[in-house]
A and B are shown apart, each in its own frame.
Chain A
């Protein structure tokens, strides 16, 4: 008995041999498992490496060059220095912030209202939910074509209807109205998505809380203010950050409806990157602009993860 214990512990020559053998087996198994794992991941790793990581590194390198069709010279921080004094960039950044600053609270606010209405016992609930959600699953670019005609000051039916009730609107040729319409379409596209997220949040609130409040005779407004809204804080933060990230990357409806015009009044950062990179071929400078976008989105994404984790814990 004692002898075999010693053998296992590797204190006798036979035991040492067995242990060596086991270590060898384990390491061979270990190596094989590692190989298997990387074999599983090989296609994804190649694609992520070649088409995401490498281009990302390139984007950083290019942003320090004057890369265009003809040349590519190292210019150091020149592009970034240019950003500081470039009115076109200030304009695009300002438009992006204006667009996101209005689209986000409006979308989230409307989504909350819709979710509260849909969370009650209403007939046709499924229909209303599907209707509000429909824009989320359809192509924004294609829908923006319809919107362009719908709001056309000459033939559009929306300006005509609004005129009947005394509201004068302007077309996409007028700077302020162009921004308003682009925001309207942006809200239209995503509000259903945020509504569904709010509905999920509302479903996570236990009913008993309300029952107790009903006994106490709390009004609808009091109930919302003291219970629903505080319990939805995490959902609100999560939805808000997601909406902000999406709004900062606005492109599709702007490309279709205004191409950033009139007079660059609806040119957002992504629109500017597209113009610089793909129609003016100032790739170096465009890359520098794109890093500003990365900075904004990445910071918000970190926030998003924080609330995403809490969300998982909560529900």
Chain B
């Protein structure tokens, strides 16, 4: 190692010390940042396999001493976990599907049809996008109470069944699609609905997938809305159910961590599968 002849390496200039130090620092900083950011996930995963006695020991340890799966089997009957999971799936899935249909129909009209009041409507939709939804919570709660929709799936889904951002996002995409194809179809006498369904929608598939991901993620993760619409445990979603369970039984760490892992997992798996779409979609729209 010490006997490399000087003459053997002249073509490649040695990077100077400062540059190498900089590179090393970059990796150290990035490694540290990644560790801190991932710590809650790592810790949750490892803790979900720990015995309850190991979790509360002092000094705390990151890695489990012995592994157990009891939290993963207990969770299903200690709390109505299957029910929470199903509710979350129905809520997030329901909103995503219905909203994609309604948003795209409206976006199509705004992007492709000429009618009086179009610009005013578009502006109104933009304005609703800019207002914080929290202001509607109290009147919405009264309205849902009157409709007897508290603690129901329709109460969770219907008020979210269309989304101003979704309409805006799809309208921008529809505008960018060339019109030649549909003009030909129009000359052939195809109805607007047929053009929407058979020409524009298939072309908009990437945008629909991106928006669908956003809708699903946003609603799967949401806390405030399910917290308000559901008061009964049997109708709660995972974030709300787990947060409230924690408030009541703060000592059952292992159970909560197993529940958290199962609640986080679908999003993480989905993210790893379609990472590029997530990241690029967000980078280009700039909206969560």
Residue ranges of A at the interface with B (Cβ–Cβ < 8 Å): 33-34, 36-38, 40-41, 43-45, 47-48, 50-56, 58-59, 62, 114, 117-118, 120, 122, 124, 127-150, 154-158, 160, 188, 191-193, 196-197, 199-200, 220, 238, 242, 246, 248-249, 251-252, 255-256, 259, 270, 273-274, 277-278, 283, 286-287, 290-291, 293-294, 297-298, 301-302, 304-305, 308, 311
Contact = CB atoms under 8 A, between A and B. Distances in A.
Interface in B52-98: 55-62
Interface stretch (B4-12, B175-183, B203-211, B261-269): B261-269
Given A51-B159, A197-B286, A251-B223, A142 B260 contact: yes
A251 to B, nearest CB: 6
Nearest to B45: A146
A293 B33 contact: no
Given A196-B282, A311-B286, A139 B223 contact: yes
A130 to B, nearest CB: 6
B1 interface: no
B70 to A, nearest CB: 18
B78 to A, nearest CB: 15
Interface of B: 22, 26-27, 29-30, 33-34, 36-41, 43-44, 47, 55-62, 101-103, 105-106, 108-110, 113-116, 118, 121, 125-126, 128-143, 158-162, 164, 167, 192-193, 196, 217, 220-224, 227-228, 238-240, 242-243, 246-247, 253, 256-257, 260, 263-264, 267-268, 270-272, 275, 278-279, 282-284, 286, 288
B132 A293 contact: yes
A138 B221 contact: yes
28 contacts: A36-B109, A37-B114, A40-B113, A40-B196, A55-B136, A56-B131, A58-B143, A117-B29, A128-B30, A128-B33, A132-B33, A134-B38, A137-B268, A142-B221, A143-B40, A145-B246, A146-B40, A148-B246, A149-B43, A193-B282, A196-B282, A252-B224, A290-B137, A297-B132, A298-B131, A304-B130, A305-B126, A305-B130
Contacts of B135: 56, 59, 287, 290-291, 293-294
A26 B213 CA distance: 42
B221 A140 contact: yes
B138 A37 contact: no
B80 to A, nearest CB: 17
